[in-house]
Structure formats: structure tokens, C-alpha cells
Amino acid sequence: MLFFDGEETDERERAPVVLYGEKMQAVKITVCSSSDMAGEERMEMVSFGTLLEKNGSWYARYQESELTGLAGTTTTIKWDQERIIVLRSGNVEHRQEFFPGLNQASLYKTKELTIPMQTRTQTIAVTALPDGVWQLDINYELLYGAAESTQRQLRIRIEEDKRREY
């Protein structure tokens, strides 16, 4: 499945946005996820947001769309060479940290319910590719609610957004 959060726009030059003295870059964020769960197909979601480097960590932020079922939620991905954190706030509140060998309990909260989750990270890979492209790979086991655990893979690609102006 492929999701886009926004309309096509003409490609144009943009001036960088400065927020609190930091320069933010407009980016395209592609999240591919798959699991070993029977009947679950590979999903790919494309969003547009911003990228910021601060104190040795990188931050990519975007608004979730209705297509993902998380409208009204802001997702922030923070990473360095050792760990990746996915933080959601708004209609969904959730924090997942990925670090090889980390076994983390968390709560996935919506207005209607709270689901306890357990994440066991096997591996992560943080790769800086040419042209300022980042690729984040995460392999982990997820246990939520009373469901059986599933093996999951995430690949997050963050690259310059040549379509939008921020």
C-alpha cells in the first residue's frame, strides 16, 4: 500500500526555515514496514515534514494523515548512530525507543483506549547516504495487548523535499 499526505505541487526553490535559531530543511519521509504476521502486507507511507540537526542528534517531524488512521498526531523521529526514537503526540501518544538489545515497555494511548506494548530491538542501522539522504533500518519484536508477538522491520528514508516550500 502507498499513502501520500498532501497534493502535488510545482517544484520550486525554497528558503530554509529558521526556528529557534536552528535551520530546518523540508524533507520527504518514506516509511516502509513489514512483519511476519499472517495476512499482513508490506506497507509504504510517504509524508512531508522537516529535518533538523541539534547537539549531534537528527530530528525528522511530520503530521500524520487520515490515511494512516493517525490524523491529528505529530510524529517525531530522533536518531544518532546508537539509537532511534519514534515519538507520537496529539490524538495518539506513544514513545518507542530502538537500541540493539533494548527490551522496552510502553503505552500506546488514544482518547478511547490504552494498549500496553513491549518492544525488543534486535538491530538498527543508521546510514547517511549521498546527497543528504538518511536511511534508518530497524528490526524488532513487538508484543501488544494479548496478541502474539510479531517480528517487524521498518525502513525509514529521509530525503530533501524538492516539491514544497516551508
Tens-binned pLDDT, residue by residue, of the chain (166 aa): 333 333 333 333 333 444 444 679 999 999 999 998 766 778 999 999 999 999 999 999 999 988 777 888 999 999 999 999 999 999 999 999 999 999 999 999 999 999 999 999 999 999 999 988 999 999 999 998 777 789 999 999 999 998 755 4
CB atoms within 10 A of CB 113: 8
How many CA atoms within 13 Å lie on the side-chain side of 5? 24
* pLDDT at 6 (0 to 100): 39
The pLDDT assigned to 25 comes to 93
- The three-class DSSP label of residue 66 is helix
Cell 533494548, located at residue: 102
Bridge partners of 93, per DSSP, are 109
What is the structure's pLDDT at 139?
Answer: 97
Q: Which CATH architecture has domain 2-98+126-138+156-160?
A: Beta Barrel (2.40)
Main-chain dihedrals φ then ψ at residue 132, nearest 5 degrees = 75, 20
Domain ranges of the chain: 2-98+126-138+156-160
